[in-house]
Structure 1
Amino acid sequence: MAPGSLNAPAPPIAGRQTLRLLARRSLSPEVFELDLERPPGFRFLPGQRLRIREGGVERDYTIASGPGEGVLRILVRRVPGGSISPFLCEAPPGTAIAASGPHGYFVFAPAPRTPVFAATGVGIAPFRSMAASGVRGFVLFHGAGRAGGLFYREFLEPRAARYRGCLSRQAQPLPAGTRPGRVTDALREELADGDYDFYLCGRGEMIAQALQVIDARFPRARVFTEPFS
Structure 2
Amino acid sequence: MRLTVLGGCGVWPEAGQACSGYLVEHDGFRLLVDCGYATVPRLLAHLSVDDVDAVFISHGHPDHCADLNPLLRARALRDDRPPPLPVYALPGALDAVLALDRPGMLDAAYALNEVSARDLDIGPFRAETRLLPHWVPNAGVRLAAGGRVLAYTGDSGPNADVVALARDADLLVAEATYVREVPEDSVGYQSSARDAGRQAAAARAAQLLLTHLQPGTDHEAARATARGEYDGVVGVAAADVVVELS
Shorter chain as denominator, the TM-score bin is: 0.3 to 0.5
Which structure dedicates a bigger proportion of its chain to strand? 1
TM value normalised by structure 2: 0.31
